[in-house]
Structure formats: C-alpha cells, structure tokens
Homo-oligomer: A and B are copies of this chain.
Amino acid sequence: MNLALSDEQEFLREAATGALARVKTVEAAREALEDPSKLPDLWTLVKDAGWNGLLIDEDHGGAGLGAFDAMLVLEECGKVLAPTPLLGLLPATAILNAAGDESLAAVASGELRPAYVPARPSSDSHAEWTVDPVGGFARGAAPVIAADGSVTGTVAWVPDAPGADLLVVVGVDESGAPAATVVEASAASVEAVTRFDATRSLGHVTLDGSAGRRLDVGEGDLTAAWYLAHALIASESLGTVQTTLTMSVEYAKERFTFGRAIGSYQSVKHELTEVLRQMENARSLQFYAGWAGADKPEEFALAASAFRNAAGHALDFATRSNINVHGGIGATWEHDAPLYFRRAQLSRRLLGGTHDAADRVASELLLAAAAA
C-alpha cells in the first residue's frame, strides 16, 4: 500500500513546473482581459514537453502514460493559470487512442491538435446522454452521429475548440447509443467565446451534417473520457488552490492590524486552515481518481466526480478567501487574487458544472447501493 509518486512522476511534475516558469502566464491572464492578443501561445511548449502525446500509446508515437500523469501536468498548469489546450486535447487523445484512429501519429507528433467535444453520460436520474447548452438549466441533446460518421448537433462551451484541427465529437447514434466521430474543424462551425477568465479558450460548436470518421470505440471509452476531463479540470483547480493558499499565508504573516499580524487571529487562521483542509481532501481524491483510473476502472466515475466536486468547492472557497484575507486591495484590478477568482467562477460552470459532478457522486453511490 503506497501512494507515493514514482520518480518518473516526480520528474514529470518538476519538468512541468520548469517549463511553465519560463512564461509570465499570470501577468498575461490580466492583460488578456483587455487585449486577448497578450495571451501567450503555449502550443509549442506543450509539444516540446510531449504533453500532447501523453496518453497515446508508445507504438503510436505517444508516451503511453496514464490519467494520473496527465493530472499532475494539469495541476502545474492550474498553479500559474497557464492557457494550455490540454483540457480539451487530452480526453480527445484518449478516445482516438482507444479507437486506434489513423490520426494518432499526426496527433502524437503535434501536427494535428484535436479537441474533445464532450457529451455527458446517462445516469440514474437522466436516461439520455446530454451536452452543455449555451444557456439555461435544461440539458442539451447530444449530437446525432450517423453510420457514415457525419454528425449534427450543437455543443456549447467546448474547452480549447477554437483553433483545434480535429474535433472528437461524442454523441449518440440513431439508436440513441453513445458513439463518437472525428470531424475536421473546417467541416464544423466553431464560435470562439471567452467569459470572465481570459485564459480559458472556449467554443460553441455547431455541427450540421458535418462529415466525420466514425470511431470504433465502446461506451466505456466515452464514459471514461468524460470522467477524465473531470479529473483534469479538478487537478487544474487543485493547483490554483495551492497557489492562492500560499499567497494568503504569506500576506497573513506580513500584514498587521491592531498591533498583530492578521494571521495570528483565529478568524484568518481558521479560514486558511479550512482552505488547507479542503485542499488536502481534494488531493486525497486525486490519488483516488489516479488509482481508480489505472487499477479500478469501475470506480473511476465515482472517484473522478468526487475529486471534481471537492476540488471545485475548494477552488470557490480558496479564491474568495484569498480576496478576503487581502482585504480591499485583493479586489482591485492590478492584484492577482481576482484572476484566480475569475478562474474559479468560470471553471465551476464548465463540463456540466461542479454541481453535476456532485450529482454523479450521488448517482454512483445510489446505483451501487441498489445493486448491493
């Protein structure tokens, strides 16, 4: 029984820290709010690090690593708000890899960048596969994929869709069964949208009988991709939480009020201890998701959903608490704290939302209980 990282994983993490440290990503996150062109293009950095091939088998030119390794990379990206296209890319590569698709070599080499166009698996409370709508609380219908791979439907708020070469679209076939197809970006319409957090590239994807290559994948692969995306956004959130906790603790030691460092007051001390508690819980669930992803696939849905739920709540709490600890100055444009708050506000509403991840935890537990 051992949850320690392997040497390779430690190295992967350090390499990521080092590579990302060479770009002023946090500064860019603020500047891009007013001038999107200020956002650095990290695609070359991603390719040089080989992250695009992380989940692709070695015999297809990838690194053949696992979900947990991908989580470690996303965590480092989250620490510095790095605008990498990995959240959209990695689940796409996982599906292509499962299908042994012809595009794998080009994807592993970085010639082609795919993006995952997600669909939400059915659950005990929702019989259909669904997608995120542009707005409103009702779920959207999943795209319909024909036998020839052509696909029709609309999926909103797709991470990293703008600029992608390939869209790996998850939807349902005529019989309503989950299916996937890979579409040339040129065959689809992708409306680029950014909201509140300039570092997050999103797209509204509209497919209108768009030609595609039907992928030979099973329901399990498509379900796994959804939860992989959850584990990745959760890891990214976990990284951001770590950064804000460090910021808050430093400030709480230096800022004085009524003759004492504010960190000596229980109100501040206990709030930061609560951030630590939530962060450590999310960290523990990251191990759960990593372990289940590798050794216990039947628990991956529960583990990844619980991880996202915990990390999402931790991110909401930590970013607000970071502003509180800093006082008024922490809510000004020039301060970094609001950038992490912006990240939290948007992340919370992507990929079904933290709220849906929680519902999945209930779904998995209730199904297991009924089965037992």
A residues at B contact (CB < 8 Å): 265-267, 270
Per DSSP, chain A at the interface is helix
Complex Cα gap A270–B266 (Å)? 10
Report the separation of the CA atoms of residues A270 and B270 in the bound assembly, to the nearest whole angstrom. 12
Copies of this chain in the oligomer: 2
C-alpha spacing A266/B266, complex, angstroms: 6
- CB-nearest residue of chain B to A265: B266
> Nearest Cβ distance between residue A7 and chain B, in whole angstroms?
43
Alpha-carbon gap, A83 to B355, bound state (A): 43
Nearest residue, chain B, Cβ from A266: B266
Residues of B within 8 A of A266 (CB): 265-267, 270
The CA-CA distance from A277 to B146 in the complex, in Å, is 59
6 interchain pairs (CB within 8 A)? A265-B266, A266-B266, A266-B267, A266-B270, A267-B267, A267-B270
CB-defined contacts of A270 to chain B, threshold 8 Å: 266-267
List of B residues within 8 angstroms of A265 by Cβ: 266
Chain B nearest CB, measured from A325 CB (Å): 14
CB of A259, distance to nearest CB on chain B (Å): 15
Cβ–Cβ < 8 Å partners of A267 in chain B:
266-267, 270
Looking at the assembled complex, report how far the CB atom of A274 sits from the nearest CB atom of chain B, in whole angstroms: 12
Q: Which residue of B lies closest to A270 (CB)?
A: B267
Smallest beta-carbon distance A124→chain B, Å: 16
Instruction: Give the Cβ gap from A195 to chain B, nearest Cβ, in Å.
Output: 26
Residue of B nearest to A268 (CB): B266
In Å, the complex CA distance between A266 and B270 comes to: 10
Interchain CA distance A267-B284 in the complex, whole Å: 27
- Least distance between A101 CB and chain B CB atoms (Å): 47
A-B pairs, top 6 by smallest CB distance, nearest first, are A266-B266, A266-B267, A265-B266, A267-B270, A266-B270, A267-B267
- Report how far A270 CA is from B268 CA in the complex, Å: 12
How far does the alpha carbon of A265 sit from the alpha carbon of B270 in the complex, in Å?
A: 12
A137-B270 Cα distance, complex, nearest whole Å: 36
Alpha-carbon gap, A169 to B266, bound state (A): 53
**Complex-state Cα separation, A270 to B267, whole angstroms:** 8
Closest CB in chain B relative to A17 CB, distance in Å: 36
Closest Cβ of chain B to A54, distance in Å, is: 45
Q: Given the complex of chains A and B, what is the CA–CA distance between A169 and B31 in angstroms?
A: 68
- Give the docked Cα–Cα distance between A213 and B270 (Å): 61
With A and B bound together, what is the CA distance between A265 and B265 in angstroms? 9
Closest-CB distance, A252 to chain B (whole angstroms): 14
Question: Cα distance A266–B268 when bound, in Å?
Answer: 10
Complex Cα distance, B267 from A267, in Å, reads: 7
| Minimum C-beta distance from A164 to chain B (A) | 41
